[in-house]
Amino acid sequence: MSYALTLLRRTIRNRLGWKWIGLAFSITIAVVAFYALAQALKNIDVNQVRQAVWLTETWRIVVAACLVAACYASLTLYDLLALRAIGRREIPYRIAALANFTSYPIAHGVGAVLPVSTAIRYRIYSVHGLTAIEVAKICFLTGLTFWLGNLTALGLSMFHEPDAVGLIDHLPRAVNQLLAVGLLVAVAFYLYWTWNETRRVGRREWSVILPGGRIALLQIGLGVLDLSCAALAMYVLIPPGMNIDVARVVAVFIAATLLGFASHTPGGIGVFDATILIGLDTDNKEALLAVLILFRLFYHLVPFVLALAVFGAREAWRSLQDRSGS
C-alpha cells in the first residue's frame, strides 16, 4: 500500500514538473516574440498599412478566402479519419465536420487548445454515443495527424529554404538543413515502425491503436494539404512587388504556426505575427502588416465567429429539445 502511494505521488510530481516546464517554455516563446514584434513594428506608418489593405485586389481576397475554406474543409477530415481509426464508422461525416469546425477555431482562438477542443467535441459526440475515453482518443489521433503533417512540411521547407528559417532561429544554413533531415528521418522511422505491425500506446481502456503506415501516409498528406492551403492563402495576399517567393512563405508560415501553437497565446497572437514579419524580412513592413491583418481576418476571426455562432445555435437547439422532452 505504501509503495502504491509512493508511486502515485511520484507520478503526480513528475507530471506537474513537466507541466511547469511546458508553461515556462510557452511563456519564454511569448515574451521573446512580443519583444521581437515591438521591435519590428517600430516606425510603422498606420496610414500606409490602412492604404495597403484597401488597395489589395479583389481577386486576391477571393482566392485567399477560397483557400482558407479549403484549409478548414481538409481539417474536418482529421476527425473523420480518427473516427474510422477507433472503429466508429457509423458516425457520419457531417457530425465529424461539425465537431472539428466548432472545436478547432474556438479552441485556437481562446488559446487552450486541448481542454476546449476536447470539451466541445464531447458535447457533440456524446449525443451520438461516444464515451469520454473515445473522445480523448479522437483528440489524440487528430493531434497526431497535425504533428505528422506539420513536422513533415517543416522538414521539407527547412531543407529547401534554410536561410528563411535562419532569420527566425539564428542558426547557420547547414545546421537548419541538418535539423530538417533529422525531422524527415524521424517521420520516416515512424512510418516504418507502424507499417506492417499493430502498434498500441497507452494502457488498458486509455490505449490507442496507432493507424498503420498507409493510413499514417494519409495523415501526413492531410496535414500537408491543410498547411499548404493556409500558407498559399497568405501568399496570394502578398503584392507582387515585394518579390517574396512561395517556398519562403511556406517555410516561414509553418515555423510561425508551430511557434504560435507552442506559445498557447490566443490565435498565436504576437508570436505568429512576429515570426512572419521577421522571417519574410522585407523593407515594406506596412504592406506585410496589411497582409497579416487580412490573413488573420479570414483565417482566424471569421472562422472563430462562425464556429461560436454554429456551436451556440446547436447548444440552444439542444436545450430547447431537452425542455420540450421533459
SS3 letters across 189-211: HHHHHHCCCCEEECCHHHCEEEC
Question: pLDDT tens across 199-258, in order?
Answer: 777 676 667 778 877 888 888 999 899 989 999 999 999 988 788 888 888 888 988 888
Can you point out the beta strands (E) in the chain? 199-201, 208-210
Angle at 95 between CA 314 and CA 116, to 5 degrees: 65
What integer pLDDT is reported at residue 184 of this predicted model?
Answer: 94
Q: Is residue 237 part of a domain?
A: yes
Cβ neighbours of residue 276 under 8 Å, at least 6 residues apart? 234, 252, 253, 256, 288, 292
Any domain includes 29? no
Residue type (1 letter), 181: V
Residue 276 lies in a domain: yes
The residues facing 200 across adjacent strands are 209
Closest CA to 296 of 264, 259, 253, 255: 253
In a domain, 9, yes or no: no
> 280 is in which domain, residue-wise?
36-315
- Residue 16 has what pLDDT? 45
Residue 3 domain-assigned (yes or no): no
DSSP 86: T
Query: What pTM was computed for the model?
Result: 0.82
Q: What is the pLDDT along the chain (326 residues), one digit of tens a residue?
A: 444 444 334 444 544 444 545 556 556 655 655 455 555 556 676 788 888 889 889 999 999 999 999 999 999 999 999 998 888 889 999 999 999 999 998 888 887 778 888 889 999 998 888 988 889 889 889 989 988 998 998 899 888 888 888 877 788 889 989 999 999 999 999 888 888 777 777 676 667 778 877 888 888 999 899 989 999 999 999 988 788 888 888 888 988 888 877 767 777 777 888 888 888 877 778 888 889 899 999 999 999 999 999 999 988 888 887 777 65
The pLDDT of residue 280 is 83
Judge whether 65 lies within some domain: yes
Domain assignment present for residue 243? The answer is yes
pLDDT at residue number 240: 82
Burial class, 293, CB count within 10 angstroms (exposed 0-12 / middle 13-18 / buried 19+): middle
Structural domain total, the chain: 1
- Please check whether residue 324 lies inside any domain of the structure: no
C-alpha–C-alpha distance, residues 211 and 191, integer Å:
10
